[in-house]
Structure 1
Amino acid sequence: MTTRFEELDWKPTPIGDISLRRRRDPSSGDDVYEVKLGDEFLMSSLFTEGEIALARLGLAPLAHPELDVAVGGLGLGYTARAVLDEPRVRSLVVVDALAEVIDWHRRGLVPLGAALSSDDRCRLVRGDFFAMVRDGHGLDPQAEARLFHAILLDVDHSPRHVLHPSHAALYQQAGLSALARLLHPGGVFALWSNDPPDDDFVSLLAQVFHEAAAHVVEFPNPLQGGASANTVYVAGTGEALPTGV
């Protein structure tokens, strides 16, 4: 049992002050972990369905028996954990721009940190995902231009609501084409979004990739009552993609 509220870490970063805090949910008594950037909430362990669905939907179309996966955005680690829960995954590279977030996992300050840090298949890499794609060096500093079977991205709020202006170019045709070049034939790019499905963005994905679909992931919202929803975009370079969650 923890105190009702505790700030576990706070650091200034180039994109604003980032903080990790833990509070006790008065209704369930469970610990809730939250990340804020400045005054804006980035993520909460209360709402993980979208992050988990990003991994599930992103890996589902792949038929390869051994998968190499890259994740952009570590956060609280729920997407990475869901990737590693897939027995076909042989390697995972998780890229995050903030050393502070990687440090939370290595220090065990977040619930999934110890498991991710100790899994031999998983490597946590500090880097600017968007610059790494844009510059053509790839997402694995140990192997330039390495190809992956799946690239999963959860950094910005949506393709139209980005955390930093430098991210916006990735969601245009040239940026998506650069990302597609890092995928094996038949590979998949999947993107988490906090906004409803954007038909124009699906059309753009379809121009760059072979197939594209937007999946709505609904989940209960105990803070507001009722349900909330995220969107997961899935775009593949080869085989047709499923149309339902």
Structure 2
Amino acid sequence: MITPRFEELDWQQTPMGELMLRRRVEPTLGVDVYEVKLGDEFLMSSLFTVAEVALADLGLAAATGDKLDVVVGGLGLGYTAVAALADPRVASLNVIDALPTVIDWHERGLLPVSAVLTGDLRTTLTHADFFAVMRGEPARRYDAILLDVDHSPRHQLDPSHADLYTVDGLRRVRGHLSDGGVFALWSDDPTDDEFMTRLGEVFENPVAHTVDFDNALTRGVSSNTVYVATAAA
């Protein structure tokens, strides 16, 4: 069976714009690549998952104890969530996404890690606005919150997300964590010193990790940032 060079797996109109999942063959590597576009913006690609995995690895490395309750903000292609499930200390994983279409992709098994994600009994996929959840009173407290929705604290997909990255917004995030819990955030931008200052006003020991990875398209090295901070006891 010949694999088409390009295949649109799904297209939906959403409140945030046109959302498309596509699969194509990357000619320089000869591999299938899964990509998500929102309008004219490329949101994510299965070619570049190192930092998404690092978000889970670095965040959970800072967590202590067993039987961790973890929430992931932003489902996407699922790599952060599956990396979290690889930690045997994770007792429950709640993945929150504002777009039911993205949840449906995984429930239909359209993506490479979908079967691992949906087949694990620890996983719950929740259709909700993560940012609205953080503004509300905590129904439960988590041992780790891993967030990968916006491009960076300065570049949000939607203006309504901006308040989370303020001191008051970070304090609300802190309210959803258990004592000693961890907040970790993916960013496409270099370390933001102003954001680090705000993190330090709310959390203990904030660290900005630069995550380098080989970029097969540019034949160079690209970088993302993963922020990790701990809620004081």
- Residue 17 (structure 1) aligns with: 18
Written as runs of structure 1 = structure 2, the 5 A alignment for 1:1-245 is: 2-136=3-137, 138=138, 145-238=139-232
**Secondary structure in 2 matching 1:86:** coil
**Unpaired segments of 5 or more residues in structure 2?**
none
**Secondary structure in 1 matching 2:76:** coil
Give TM-score scaled by structure 2 length. 0.97
Shift of 1:189: 0.1
Contact 1:211 1:238 in 2 (8 A): no
- In structure 2, give the amino acid aligned to 1:9: D
**Secondary structure in 2 matching 1:119:** coil
Shift of 1:2: 2.0
**Unpaired segments of 5 or more residues in structure 1?**
139-144, 240-245
Separation (CA, whole Å) in 2 of partners of 1:207 and 1:180: 11
User: Number of matched residues?
Assistant: 232
Shift of 1:61: 1.4
- In structure 1, give the amino acid aligned to 2:62: P
- In structure 2, give the amino acid aligned to 1:158: S
Q: CA RMSD in A?
A: 1.0
Contact 1:73 1:95 in 2 (8 A): yes
Shift of 1:28: 2.4
My pick for the range that moved more, 161-170 or 203-212, is 203-212
| 1:57-88 deviation line (CA, Å, top 9, x unaligned) | 00001221211100000000000000000011
Separation (CA, whole Å) in 1 of partners of 2:69 and 2:31: 34
- In structure 2, give the amino acid aligned to 1:25: E
Q: Show structure 1 runs of 4+ deviating over 6 A.
A: none
Separation (CA, whole Å) in 2 of partners of 1:97 and 1:50: 22
Separation (CA, whole Å) in 1 of partners of 2:54 and 2:3: 29
